[in-house]
Structure 1
Amino acid sequence: MQHLSKLLEIEDSKLAWVLRLGLYGLRTQLQEALKEATKDPGNSICQELLQELNELLQAKILTEKDWEVGRTGDGEKITPHHPITPSPHLSWEDVFEPIQPATTGELKLKYICEALLTDKELLQYVGEYEFHSSNDTDLWNELQRLLLRVPEKLAHVWQERILAEVSQLGALEDKFSLQQMSFCRNEHVYSGLKGNIEAKGLCLSNNIGFDPQLRMETRDGEFDVLAGIVSTCVKFIEIDKCLHHALKSVDRFGVRSLDSESEQAKYVTALLDRFHRVLATADADPAIALRARLDLDEAIHSLVYLPICDRFSWWGKLQQEARRTLNGVVEKARDAGYQVQIRPLWGTYADVYTWSKDDLQLDIGGIPGEVSACLRVYAKINDEVLPGRVLFRSSLEA
């Protein structure tokens, strides 16, 4: 560690900066791995290594007070600059391109966004993305929402890197200035910023009512889960212009962007109608209630990004939470004497297409020849067959 320490101590060294960011990334990855590999034979050594990394990096961590006054602990004035975070996929030539200071009016977060879009692993989940925000406040939220679409482990690594980067710009993580979205529980989604860049983060909260369009109060049950998810869907449609829908009752022939107000209105109307039908049939015949729940589940899962989100992203897990609520209503129908089958459709499209109808083919994201999203599960109630519906990636031959 001797040479690492010496290099890190060199002021204004690009080599030191590259090393420091690499160590931040390594520390985060090891911390995440330790959470799962609790019985790994290298566990204790890894913990010692993390302690050494903490000691190496500690000398470079500035306190919140230091940033507020614009000086280091030694009284030296801080001069923020805009380095590009090196991705594991960047070449050394990319890393050592000259770092240009921001010009007047230029976005402070611009270089972080450019660095993120060089990560080939991340790009397979978000495609050829282009940031469109015109100020740092909006850009911070756009950046964080993009990470909600990738696997949570990868998103966490990038969130740590980004926070390390913005500290060099005189900004600090703010865990308390958060935009709240109504939900059935409290959940921190991502932090905001304070200091040289001010931006609100995002959280789910049970301290505010559901979207008034739902016309529902808290019930302390699975309907609260559905109401929270539908409220979140409606809010995200308002704030995120990247969302699309593939709801058959609105448009059966393609995946449509929700960028326009007219398309938003059509989809949201259909979503709310299906939610209200679920409430209206809550005490009806279990088979009727199940059909209503299947329709709502389809509407929720038809709200998609292109490329399709990873199933283990924050967004993917939110939709899966809605689908899990089907289990209860299926059991009620079976208890009432109905023969019920439910089958989510995943895997190779050639293996599932006989269970589905009106599927849509994509030419972006996912694995060629496989299902990218199960919009509607296959269901059978006694002798009545209710086909599923999927989005699938075209095969290599196509």
Structure 2
Amino acid sequence: MAANIGPVRSGQGIPPGVWVLGFVSMLMDISSEMIHALLPIYLVSVLGASMVTVGVIEGIAEATASITKIFSGALSDWLGKRKWLAAMGYGLAAFTKPVFPLAPTIGWLVAARFVDRVGKGIRGAPRDALIADIAPADLRGASFGLRQSLDTVGAFVGPLLAIALMWWTADNFKTVFWFAVIPAFLALALIVFAVREPERPEALRAVRNPISLVEIRNLGAAYWWVVAVASVFTLARFSEAFLILRAQNVGLPIALTPAVLVGMNVVYALAAYPAGVISDRISRTGVLAGGILLLVAADIVLAILPSLSGVALGVVFWGLHMGLTQGLLAALVADTAPAELRGTAFGFFNLLGGVAMLAASVIAGALWDSAGPQATFLAGAGFAAIALAGLLMVNGKIANSRPLPD
């Protein structure tokens, strides 16, 4: 039976549709992370790729998803419909998954990652805008935190399954990649058959050209301050592939490298929902500042403690910073953007973040090859400090904005 994901009144709790969409995200993340946890090692140890190549592939993959989000988000605003765009994105990702075990060269893997991330881009902004549409203003932080927690459960279940399957198959990468196909198609079935989108409210203003200059201005100054801070912050958040490579660098066996993502995502999942709840009750920007400080700490630990215990501590800090920042940034976008432009708002938010992610991953790979892992993580700490300074400078402009009524 399809879940009714229409708006609920404040005080009734998180809408059931947020749970459904969270489980969809969880299943797709199980699939993606089973592959992602092993892909950097597979590229380097099996296909002979360089660290710069890993950085470029990961950066292009995430930037592709982010660039696509602006178009799918704007299209969802123009159509006034979000579910089927999200379902299309999940479907594209599901049908791309079999390419990973079949790919004979790096070029095929680059193409597969590219198409897979196009699917992520198509689904991302409409799904997040849908969550923003149905969550009461005083529960947006909790709603996005819950969705982020469920999504992140998938992100550590996936690597756990990858570890078990690598042990069971004696490090057979391709067999593990085949198993990753199953949850991807389960996610597609869930969003198609278990989600029903409510009708667009008649009172909501129609948007003819969501990415026109007029509508871009209508997004408002507070929204653009959120985007600016988030983009600088993303420069400090290069791909988690470098956490895996750092663990291998200090002696973790290849079969156990997915444990890095497991540990990070367990912490992430545990922190995201409470952080969202707290942000509904106090300042979102205060919680966000704490998250940025944790990223600075994570980078410093990973740079100066070249041991398994040092990596473990850095990974815990990294997971905490993710939990305290990712859902909150999405909630801030929902707080500051007009309801009829939320798809476009999430699209621009992810576009600029994707450009920053591409730059960050390429820089991280280049620094690793030329100056070692310490330089990579110290540079990340420096970018995070700049983002924190920027947040403190514009804190009043963001904090003084109020969640917009639907």
TM-score of the alignment, normalized to the shorter chain, above 0.5: no
Greater strand percent: which structure? 1
Greater helix percent: which structure? 2
The structure having more radius of gyration, on CA atoms, is: 1
